Amino acid sequence: MGASTSTRFGARSSRVLLFLGLAIVAFLSIFPLVWMVNFSLLKSGDFFGSNVLKWPDPFQWVNYKNAFTLGHVHAYLLNSVIVAVVVITVTVIVSLMLSYVIARMDWKWNVYLSGLVMVCLIVPIYSTLLPNFFIFNKIHLIDNYFSLILPNIAFLIPLSVFIFIGFLQTTPRAIEEAAVIDGLSLIGVVFRIIMPISKPVIASVGVLAFLNTWNEFIMAITYISSDNYKTLPFSLIQFTGQYASNYGAQFAVMTLIALPLVVLYMLFTDRITNSLTAGAVKG
Amino acid sequence: MNKLWMDKRNIALLIAPGLVFILGFVLLPTAVALYLSFTNFDGVDYQTFNLSNYKDIFLHDPIFWRALRNSIFLGLALVVLQHPFAVLMAMLTTYAGKWERPLRVIIFIPAIISTFVTSQMWVSLLNVQFGLVNRMLTAVGLSSWKQDWLGNPDIAIYSIIFVAMWQGFGYAYLLYYAGIKGVPSELKEAAIVDGATKWRYNKSIVLPLLSPIIRINLVLAVVSGFKQMETVFLMTGGGPANSTQFLGTYLYSKAFRDGLFGYGNAISVLFIVFCLVMTLIMNRLLKKDVGEF
């Protein structure tokens, strides 16, 4: 990489331009977040100075304390974790089963089945907000974990199925056939053979499901009204309504929500990159 | 060959849970939306069953058309501005040597953070009093460019589009980057041996190989522009004066703000129809561009 110094592109001036361009994009990507973290450590009065960034003096850790107490971060965080864990688990299992039929089994309706999944990929989740609100209301599913968990899973299935199918099509059937001859049932094949060998893809689907569920908020604010089931986004919404003037704590909440994801991303960059590109790059 | 792979009971067992989810939470609500769209349902009850919602939308609702136009506008902006730039940046990144990895990580960070955080962050960045954007303009002597970025109906839509692009850039970039990394290295070596410049190599080898990925991503871009809801919902809620209304936000405000549940459902139905049509058009348009490799 970069060994070809003889090409014109490698000239010093174009290298400077190259790095300048990339540096500007990197700066634009990251600087708003630096600004956000900076504000989370300032006194509310310090916002209005003329500096672009101001050194926090002293650091206003009290903003973070307020974030936790006023924003209910810990309670809502727990709810987000509960919803995410259930969604990820069920999505992986259900999608894997469905994909196995489409990719492997001799069934004349498979074409229609995958067509159905394809159509679901196009339906925007927001167009089901109102009817689901109505349905959940009728069957008393509104305002509990299920009103978040069930539609989240349903909308994650199509993409997950396509990722699984892509993987299954590249894996040979030999092991499965051997296992069946040895007397394993088909359910056994799916869970004891396919599941272990598709670990990397399961990780991809899991990451995708996690990010989607973690970041989902429109269903949450539509279906959830009681404090017991509120998820993380409500911590932030709390501050844009009730405590609108407490900017310091608001920025602290934002930092608290954003930072774990950023750290997680830095730790597992390659895994996450693979996950997010799995569906779209293979085409 | 083996009966197990043809056994109806096994098939039923394996597809049942998935089908229940898809039918129950994607297709059933779609059908219910279709049904309610013909009524004047207000969340409690309805009296009529007719086409008046659709008639009102098509004949007397300029805001709906504005929402549709905004959705198309965002889709176009993504295709014309964001994606070519993302391809270029992804190509350049592969020449950044030891900076390649850090750059990739940094540029993707905005995409990993929840929309509800970044939207709120941009509301602050664009704030008239303490926002960074106006402050920067002052700092470089352009104070006459200062704006109420989200409060001015003529400008708010551009601010929204900018933020949507900022948020989505990392993802588009990453997809192209991954695609470029997937180009077989022998091709690169061969090109270098043949004396191709890096420019030429990217234009004549990488870009054509990337075209299936570009095609899929342009479809996704248009559809995602169409489906845009979160950023707008959190930043302006469709305002000021409906200038940043999108289909998603509009159906929401019709139903939950105005209590016009039937009308909102009619917008939902059209929303789905437009997404389907848009996907078909994009697929058709882009199919011809792909050569054989």
How far apart are the C-alpha atoms of B64 and A210, rounded to whole Å?
A: 34
**Is A114 among the domain residues?**
yes
Does B143 contact A at CB distance below 8 Å? no
**Is B5 among the domain residues?**
no
**Is A136 among the domain residues?**
yes
Contact A87, A152 (CB under 8 A): yes
Q: How many domains in chain A? A: 1
Q: Is B43 helix (H, G, I), strand (E, B) or coil?
A: coil
**Is A38 among the domain residues?**
no
Mark the ranges of chain B whose per-residue pLDDT is less than 70.
1, 288-293
**Is B164 among the domain residues?**
yes
pLDDT reported for residue B57:
94
pLDDT reported for residue A280:
61
Contact A141, A147 (CB under 8 A): yes
Cβ within 8 Å, pair B251-A187: no
Write out pLDDT tens, residues A6-62.
444 556 777 888 888 899 999 999 999 999 999 889 887 777 766 777 787 788 888
Write out pLDDT tens, residues B224-241.
888 889 999 999 999 899
Question: Among A2, A117, A261, whose Cβ lies nearest the Cβ of B97?
Answer: A2
Cβ within 8 Å, pair A52-B139: yes
- Tell me the HSE value of B199 on the side-chain side, using a 13 A CA sphere: 7
Structural domain for A101, as ranges: 72-238
Cβ within 8 Å, pair A22-B14: no
The band of A3, judged by pLDDT with boundaries at 50, 70 and 90, is: very low
**Is B168 among the domain residues?**
yes
Write out pLDDT tens, residues A194-204.
999 999 899 98
pLDDT reported for residue B290:
47
How far apart are the C-alpha atoms of A196 and B252, rounded to whole Å?
A: 43
**Is A94 among the domain residues?**
yes
**Residues in B touching A22 (Cβ below 8 Å):** 89, 92-93, 96, 99, 103
Mean local confidence (pLDDT), A218-247: 84
**Is A41 among the domain residues?**
no
More confident residue, A193 or A279: A193
pLDDT reported for residue A281:
60
pLDDT reported for residue B138:
85
The band of A283, judged by pLDDT with boundaries at 50, 70 and 90, is: very low
Q: What is the mean pLDDT of chain A?
A: 87
The band of A5, judged by pLDDT with boundaries at 50, 70 and 90, is: very low
pLDDT reported for residue A194:
94
How far apart are the C-alpha atoms of B258 and B276, rounded to whole Å?
A: 27
Cβ within 8 Å, pair A7-B197: yes
Which B positions 194-213 lie with beta carbon below 8 A of chain A?
196-199, 212-213
The whole-angstrom distance between A14's CA and the closest CA on chain B is 11
> If you measure CA to CA, which chain B residue comes closest to A18?
B92
> If you measure CA to CA, which chain A residue comes closest to B271?
A127
Does A230 contact B at CB distance below 8 Å? no
Q: Please give the distance of CA A138 from its chain centroid, rounded to a whole number.
A: 30
- Tell me which of A254-258, A274-278, B10-14 is least confident: A274-278
Which A positions 9-48 lie with beta carbon below 8 A of chain B?
9-10, 18-19, 21-22, 25-26, 28-30, 32-33, 35-36, 39, 47-48
pLDDT reported for residue B162:
95
The whole-angstrom distance between A233's CA and the closest CA on chain B is 7
The band of A276, judged by pLDDT with boundaries at 50, 70 and 90, is: confident
Q: Write the CATH number for B225.
A: 1.10.3720.10
Which pTM does this prediction carry?
Answer: 0.89
Q: How many domains in chain B? A: 1
The band of A242, judged by pLDDT with boundaries at 50, 70 and 90, is: low
Per residue, what are the HEC states of chain A? Answer: CCCCCCCHHHCHHHHHHHHHHHHHHHHHHHHHHHHHHHHHCCCHHHHHCCCCCCCCCCCCCHHHHHHHHHHCHHHHHHHHHHHHHHHHHHHHHHHHHHHHHHHHCCCCCHHHHHHHHHHHHHCCHHHHHHHHHHHHHHCCCCCCHHHHHHHHHHHHHHHHHHHHHHHHHHCCCHHHHHHHHCCCCHHHHHHHHHHHHCHHHHHHHHHHHHHHHHHCCHHHHHHCCCHHHCCCHHHHHHHHHCCCCCHHHHHHHHHHHHHHHHHHHHHCHHHHHHHHHHHHHCC
Structural domain for B173, as ranges: 50-286
Question: Among A33, A35, A153, whose Cβ lies nearest the Cβ of B21?
Answer: A153
The single-letter code of the amino acid at A27 is F
Which A positions 71-130 lie with beta carbon below 8 A of chain B?
93-95, 97-98, 100-101, 104-107, 113, 116-117, 119-120, 122-130
The whole-angstrom distance between B282's CA and the closest CA on chain A is 13
Does B263 contact A at CB distance below 8 Å? no
Q: For residue B210, what are its two tokens?
A: 């990337």
Name the range with the highest mean pLDDT among A62-66, A189-193, B140-144.
A189-193
pLDDT reported for residue A67:
84
Q: Write the CATH number for A233.
A: 1.10.3720.10
